[in-house]
Amino acid sequence: MDDENEVYEYLPRRVPLEAHIMSKCPDARDCLHDLVLPAMVNVSNLVDFKLSYIGKTIEDDDGVVCMHGPSECLGNSIELCAARLYPNPRIHLGFTMCMSRNYAEIPSEDLAKDCALEHGIDFDKLNHCLSVDDGAYSRHLLKQSVQRSADKNVTKSCTIRVDDRNWCIRDGGKWTDCENGHEVKDLIEEIYDLRVKHSAAYEAKKGSN
């Protein structure tokens, strides 16, 4: 192929892995700690990871209503800014897990500072992301994220989606709708299997050109 972009179009893609959460939700804490983080240790190089947030958008406004109140909306925005500034999941997912361990304290500045320090995040940059344009930028990030969850018909924190489909839900302290299991090994196996399928599709596509 002469066009370099065409080459990249057929490279085997990473498996989409997404966790839809609320920052002040104990189910989100358990979901990240018990399943997402330990799985990512093994498959971070195979997935395209994303954190999305759940709430309700306000039409004709940049506002969002969060289940656990305005403090949760701010917590969501803090974590979204971390992800925007540090796209490597090892950094922003670790930061979010640190925040989630003490979810009742969110959006405490001391908590955010401690978690930023622990995960190599520049707190001044994080604070700037939250305050730029009088907060309009971070509110826009949150509205985009909440709208994404709504577009995917996700309403429960924590919902894990793999390859653009619901895979497992942690709700009310229990795992539900987990057709292929809810253990770390189950998620890893699912991602490995999908990666093999994606690679096979890539080889077939490459062979036809």
Q: For 75-125, what is each residue's pLDDT tens digit?
A: 999 999 999 999 999 999 999 999 999 999 999 999 999 999 999 999 999
Residue 183 is assigned to a structural domain of this protein: yes
Average pLDDT score over the chain: 92
Q: For residue 198, what pLDDT is reported? A: 81
| Cβ proximity of 182 and 168 under 8 Å | yes
66 within domain boundaries: yes
Residue 10 lies in a domain: no
Tokens found for residue 99: 């925040």
Segment among 4-8, 14-18, 109-113, 167-171 with least mean pLDDT: 4-8
| pLDDT bucket at 207, cuts 50 / 70 / 90 | low
pLDDT band at residue 70 under the 50/70/90 scheme: very high
pLDDT in tens, 156-197: 999 999 999 999 999 999 999 999 999 999 999 999 999 998
Query: pLDDT tens digit string along 129-140?
Result: 999 999 999 999
Domain count, the chain: 1
Cis peptide bond N-terminal to 107, omega within 30: yes
Q: Is residue 8 part of a domain?
A: no
Is 6 a member of any domain? no
| In a domain? residue 1 | no
Domain that holds residue 39: 15-207
Q: How many CB atoms lie within 10 A of CB 55?
A: 23
Contact between 78 and 130 under an 8 Å Cβ cutoff? The reply is: yes
Residue 62: give its domain's CATH number. Answer: 3.40.30.10
Residue 88 lies in a domain: yes
Residue 107 lies in a domain: yes
* DSSP per residue, 7-35: HHHTSPPPEEEEEEE-TT-HHHHHHIIII
